[in-house]
Amino acid sequence: MSLQQKFTGTGIAIVTPFNEDRTIDWASFEKLIHFWIENKVEYLVAIGTTGESATQTREEEQEVFDFVKQVTAGRVPLVAGVGGNDTREVLEAFENMKLDGYDAILSVSPYYNKPRQEGIYQHYKALNDAAPLPIIMYNVPGRTGMSVSVETTLRIAHDCKNIFATKEASGSFEQVNQIMKNKPADFMLISGDDAITLPMIACGASGLISVVANAYPKEYAAMVRFCLAGKFEEARPLHLKYLDMVDALFKEGSPSGVKYVLNKMGYCKNVMRLPVVPVSQAHEAHIDQLMAAIAG
């Protein structure tokens, strides 16, 4: 199976469930992995932002990678989130982490440092040259403070052959359109924004790495498959059904929203690592109403 086949459709940026003492809740994690796979998502992404990568050590990340691989048992492709804002440290992680059983790496553009576009390019060029696996780059300016421009994305896509896709979460359709128009034929554009995945696929995106599919994998993956088949009349009702929930999941921070929903469903505890905290009681009530409407 080619990379393009493996990563067309719905991937989940999976949560990392925690116990009350904020250690990893392995029992809940196993239950969740089976839930996601049984509901027909195409692949899983471990230790992305939704997995609270910012508050896990590299040693913990390795434990998660090993566990997810073991429980998944080859049933779906796997992506390892390995990123950072210190290029040298990311390269050390590439060298030292054991990623056998994984199909690709997701690596976010450098955050906090606010490098200019040349610095972003050089960061990804260094990762490309040392890549132990194919890489999905990740543009999420709302979290990093810097957007990877169209020009830089295309430069990377043309120059860095170990970087085969971008997860695009800028929210800019000018960016999406220009990447689609000018990218190499085999370079994939993947939505990083649940709310605009339908129109992004209409523009040519190959699918989604989702947050909402943590809780609603079956119908969200079905919506994406309808879009990819050009069946937008069938996809639109599902897209609209979850639109308010998508907004609610991010309103008071992620993964706080989706962990609240998963807790209500009985899949994991409503626990995050500080500084991320649970959603407010008022927002809980709003999410409860949305859950009831979806279930209705």
| Annotation says 167 is catalytic | yes
Residue 135 CB partners (closer than 8 Å, separation 6+): 104, 105, 106, 107, 124, 127, 128, 160, 162, 163, 164
Candidates 194, 165, 183, 13; CA nearest to 104 is 165
Closest CA to 79 of 157, 11, 170: 11
Phi, psi of 149 (to 5 degrees): -65, 165
Q: Which one is catalytic: 121, 124, 138, 216? A: 138
Angle between helices 232-241 and 217-228 (to 10 degrees): 150
Residue 112 annotated in active site? no
**36 and 44 Cβ atoms separated by less than 8 Å:** yes
Catalytic residue among 102, 121, 124, 167: 167
Q: Would residue 141 be called left, alpha or beta, if left means φ above 0 and alpha means ψ between -120 and 50 degrees?
A: alpha
Active site residues: 138, 167
